[in-house]
Amino acid sequence: MSMERLLAKHIFEEWLYHEAKCLDEIEFDRWFNLMHPDLRYEMPVRVNKEGMERPDYATDMFAFQDDINTLKMRVERLKTEYAWAEMPPSRTRRFVSNVRVAEFEDHQRAVVNSYLLIYRSRSTDIEHDLISGERRDEFKYLDGDWKLSKRFFLVDQTTLNTRNLAIFV
Amino acid sequence: MIKTDVRLDDMTRGEIVRYLENTVEPEEGIIPAYIMSDPAVYDLEHEKVFLKTWLFLGHESEIPNNGDFVTRDLAGYSVIVSRNQDGVIRAFYNMCTHRGMKLCRADKGNKARFTCPYHGFTFKNSGELIGVPMQKDIYGGKLDFEAMGLHQVTIETYKGLIFGTFNDTPQDFSEFLGDFKWYLDIAVGRTDMEVVGPPQKFIINSQWKIGADNFVSDSYHTMVTHGSIAKLGMVPNATYSKKGYQVHTENGHGCNIGMPNPDFAFPEELIPEYKAHLSPQQFDMMADLKNMIGTIFPNLSFLVSHTEVKGKLISNTTVRLWRPIAVDKMEVITWFLVEKNASEDWKHRSRESYILTFSPSGIFEQDDTEVFTDITGAASGHVPFAKNYTYNYTMGKHRVPVKDFLGPGIVYDDKFTEANSRSYYRYWLDLMKA
């Protein structure tokens, strides 16, 4: 691995850890500031196909399919006094791993894949939810910072074993 | 006094039914909490409701071509719903008739025949057994192929919706839907509609009836549970949900009709199509519709919702199944429907509004799930049963139905009443007693 690639891997690992911290600490405005205005934020529905047929996700149905405007609405909603789904907020812990920089042009753009495991604890429940999947992210460099311009989250369940997606992936 | 000596799981079926008759009083608006949580009631419900009535399986547009199939759940059992080579839709119990292996394990696909992964028995998608490896040798040519076809499941369709039942002598399907068809036509049959994508599925630790009940009558909760939506400017104000009508027909079906609407909630270029598919009265209602939320007994709900997203009005249409998995757990399965001949822009924006509002990430949906979970928790255990804690469903009991409405059924002239729930639980109780 070249020094440039090694550095890029480090940069995006740090970026993803920082993002995880913002979300886990319910700092939605700080999190939202990490997004690029061109953002496409997608989570397709995973499907159970015959044999080895691929892709095993829907290309026409999504649990999230947001741009910067609808994502802004979600963030604003969570700040109203009626957002019951996350009041009080879930305790979440996002574990990011297997970070691979697939494409990288310094100060331009990057494609970064990683794995994500979200632990979610609600209220006084002793049971927890786990949401596992792969992120395929794209970044653009804007005003001295890397901003997320595309997130594609490939979840590992066809039936989501969590009561809602009032949290971000 | 807490009745620690009385428990439903010690009772015979007949005793449970009598206990229900004595404690569930739909007309009085008295619904005991234990019917949401008692395992004995849940087991009886499986037999008396889910093995008796018509249940939703899917939409014809999900299997448009010959050979297309989906696997679906019917009352807790896997069935294959397949469009055969002759274009006819049939459904089969998803089990090989040889030694009982689950025949098909994909959600969806296209196949003229299904081959069992265990011993290679092969069935046509019309159910006939057509191939058994080495059968001449090992069965001496004596295997009765004709007797070994897949177990067929009774299905019927209405306006693209496919329903099935394991009941050998079910109620006539057309009578089951009855007058409610008038409203269903507007919700899902106003013109040719198609399902886009696979259904979305997620799990809530909630008793299934709470969802069905919420959609059949509860417009009142919108003010509070969904208060964040008005704050965001997606709907006019927090009391918008009161305006309109609540309607129920026979067999527990019911809906809430949000009216009036200064804007036309659907693609205007399709007005000739709507007029061709609907009666003039149905079209008049549709033209003034703001939203429509209802339940077809027992567990299929539907929703037409008109909101403002990114400064533009858009509507979306969904149907959803509250599929019981356990007494305190259900799978919610949601299908998105759209007019087949709508513009690509409309279809795109309608899907976007569905995902934003009523998908698993939907900003309406997610607040409901929190409520459903916590109602289920509070209803569970011996105390709510032994203390006979009940819910109050008396809202609107003093009101008189309106006459001369556009459509059939018992109609109230605003949506804040629990009349539909009283009718829903009456039919539920009648089935439990039957």
Q: Which of B322, B355, B369 to substitute to test the interface with A, most A CBs within 10 Å? A: B355
Whichever domain contains B115, its CATH number is: 2.102.10.10
How many structural domains compose chain B? 2
Co-location of B119 and B198 in the same domain: no
The pLDDT of residue B238: 61
**Mean pLDDT of residues grouped by 10 in chain B (434 residues)?**
76 95 97 97 97 98 98 98 96 98 96 96 97 95 96 98 98 98 98 98 96 93 75 71 93 96 97 98 97 97 94 97 98 98 98 95 84 94 94 96 95 94 98 96
Whichever domain contains B358, its CATH number is: 3.90.380.10
Co-location of B351 and B269 in the same domain: yes
The architecture (CATH level 2) of A3-129 comes to Roll (3.10)
pLDDT tens readout for residues A42-74: 999 999 998 888 999 999 999 999 999 999 999
The pLDDT of residue A8: 96
Last residue in a domain, options B117, B143, B170: B170
Q: Of A51, A69, A164, which is closest to B365 when you measure between CB atoms?
A: A164
Contact B200, A45 (CB under 8 A): yes
Co-location of B297 and B410 in the same domain: yes
Instruction: Please list the helix, strand and coil fractions of chain B in percent, rounded to the nearest 5, in that order.
Output: 35, 25, 40
- Answer whether residue B37 is part of any domain: no
Q: What burial class does residue A30 get, using C-beta atoms within 10 Å of its C-beta: 0-12 exposed, 13-18 middle, 19+ buried?
A: middle
> Domain of B213?
179-433
Rounded average pLDDT over A101-108: 96
List strand residue ranges (DSSP E) for B344-397, in order.
Answer: 390-392
Q: Which parts of B24-134 fold into alpha helices (H)? A: 39-45
As a whole number of angstroms, the distance between CA B407 and CA B388 comes to 39
Q: What is the interface size between A and B, counted as CB pairs within 8 Å?
A: 123
Co-location of B99 and B184 in the same domain: no
The pLDDT of residue B9: 87
- Answer whether residue B194 is part of any domain: yes
The pLDDT of residue B288: 96
Q: How far is CA B109 from the centre of its chain?
A: 23
Domain boundaries, chain A: 3-129
- Answer whether residue B5 is part of any domain: no
- Answer whether residue B232 is part of any domain: yes
The pLDDT of residue B1: 52
Co-location of B202 and B166 in the same domain: no
As a whole number of angstroms, the distance between CA B181 and CA B176 comes to 10
Last residue in a domain, options B170, B195, B213: B170
Give the residue from chain A lying closest to B205, CA to CA. Answer: A163
Q: How far is A17 from chain B (nearest CA, A)?
A: 23
DSSP for A38-62, please give it: EEEEEEEEE---STT-S--EEEEEE
ipTM of predicted complex = 0.94
- Measured between beta carbons, the chain A residues lying within 8 angstroms of B231 are 77, 80, 82
- Measured between beta carbons, the chain A residues lying within 8 angstroms of B204 are 163-164
pLDDT tens readout for residues B35-49: 999 999 999 999 999
- Answer whether residue B418 is part of any domain: yes
Last residue in a domain, options B132, B153, B170: B170
Co-location of B300 and B217 in the same domain: yes
CB contact under 8 A, A65 and B351: yes
Co-location of B323 and B225 in the same domain: yes
Rounded average pLDDT over A79-95: 83
Co-location of B64 and B207 in the same domain: no
- Answer whether residue B39 is part of any domain: no
Q: How far is A45 from chain B (nearest CA, A)?
A: 7
Co-location of B90 and B187 in the same domain: no
Name residues whose C-beta falls within 8 Å of residue B380's C-beta, 6 or more positions apart in sequence: B37, B328
- Answer whether residue B34 is part of any domain: no
Confidence grade of residue A153 (pLDDT, cut at 50, 70, 90): very high
CB contact under 8 A, A70 and B105: no
- Answer whether residue B296 is part of any domain: yes
Which residues from A are below 8 Å from B when comparing CB atoms?
A: 43, 45, 47-51, 53, 58, 60-66, 69-70, 73-74, 76-77, 80-86, 158-166
**B189 to B44, B54, B276, B333, B350: CA distances (angstroms):** 34, 19, 11, 20, 17
Co-location of B249 and B345 in the same domain: yes
Q: Which parts of B122-178 fold into alpha helices (H)? A: 135-138, 173-177
CA B403-B404-B405 angle, to 5 degrees, is 95
CB contact under 8 A, A45 and B197: yes
Contact B392, B417 (CB under 8 A): no
CB contact under 8 A, A61 and B203: no
